[in-house]
């Protein structure tokens, strides 16, 4: 599927390896006139852009620096400006792809952008290309079965430990995003519930996008790492 003139694509590029993009994502990226690559204001380069380098030839690249603070006004202001650029380019009949790590609809900057485009660009000129999310890449590396039969999986940020504790009561698998800053507290909580032995964690080495992962019982200091995820297996329900 090639990128169409006057259309916008929110493209999930997966966890960071060039061969974990879908064929559709590669086709759209290769054929788009303009690529918008997000870069966190704390990062030296766009991790997403590094990951898709094999697919870049003469597309126009716009690196877009976004804020890393929990401020909805600053966030929407920032993405509103990107939405304006997209509207301008598509009105000139260009095709535009915004690339995003993981999946565009799972804890992703693309979601803000889609919000900002509402009412500005017709929905039929927008397409979302799904991508492999970090939890899927980590589970694949671990060969960790996430759910079968009647199992429930809950995915949430690992930011509020009280909420994390509650969630453990009502799922068989818990996936914690953004767990880097709280990793020691999460370890304590899982230890107190007897679940540390069933917990694994992973994060990306940003330079080369290699996934590092470990059993949480191992005493490694990986606290504070960006994009850390935790997988906790909390039993299984079978068929009832």
Q: Residue 75 corresponds to which tokens in the numbers above?
A: 């966030």
55 in Cβ contact with 30 (< 8 Å): yes
Query: Interface with a second copy includes 50 (CB under 8 A)?
Result: no
Report in angstroms how near the CB of residue 30 gets to a second copy at its nearest: 12
Torsion from C-alpha of 168, 174, 176, 182, nearest 10 degrees: 40
> Which of the stretches 36-44, 77-85, 127-135, 203-211 binds a second copy when contact is defined by CB under 8 A?
127-135
CB-side exposure of 171: number of CA atoms within 13 Å? 20
Of residues 85-104, those binding a second copy (CB under 8 A):
103-104
189 in Cβ contact with 212 (< 8 Å): no
The interface mask with a second copy, positions 193-212, x = CB under 8 A, is --------------------
Torsion from C-alpha of 142, 145, 147, 151, nearest 10 degrees: -100
> Which of the stretches 12-20, 41-49, 184-192, 207-215 binds a second copy when contact is defined by CB under 8 A?
12-20
Q: Which parts of this chain interact with a second copy (CB under 8 A)? A: 1, 14, 17-24, 26-27, 70, 72, 103-107, 111-112, 114-115, 123, 126-133, 136-137, 139-141, 143-157, 159-160, 163, 166-167, 170-171, 238-240
């Amino acid at each position: 599927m090639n990128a169409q003139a006057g259309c916008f694509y929110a493209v999930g590029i997966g966890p960071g390896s060039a061969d974990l993009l879908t064929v559709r994502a590669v086709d759209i990226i290769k054929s788009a006139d303009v690529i918008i690559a997000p870069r966190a204001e704390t990062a030296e380069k766009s991790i997403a852009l590094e990951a898709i380098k094999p697919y870049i030839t003469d597309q126009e690249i716009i690196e877009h620096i976004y804020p890393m603070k929990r401020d909805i006004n600053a966030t929407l202001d920032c993405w509103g400006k990107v939405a304006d650029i997209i509207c301008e380019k598509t009105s000139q009949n260009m095709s535009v792809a915004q690339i995003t790590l993981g999946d565009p609809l799972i804890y992703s900057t693309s979601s803000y952008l889609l919000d900002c485009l509402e009412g500005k660009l017709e929905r039929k000129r927008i397409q979302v290309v799904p991508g492999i999310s970090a939890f899927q890449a980590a589970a694949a590396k671990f060969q960790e079965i996430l759910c079968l039969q009647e199992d429930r999986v809950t995915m949430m940020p690992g930011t509020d430990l009280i909420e994390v504790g509650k969630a453990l009561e009502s799922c068989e698998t818990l996936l914690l995003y953004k767990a880097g800053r709280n990793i020691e507290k999460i370890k304590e909580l899982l230890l107190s519930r007897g679940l540390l032995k069933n917990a694994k964690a992973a994060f990306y080495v940003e330079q080369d996008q290699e996934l590092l992962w470990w059993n949480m019982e191992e005493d490694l200091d990986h606290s504070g790492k960006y994009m850390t995820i935790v997988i906790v297996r909390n039993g299984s329900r079978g068929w009832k």
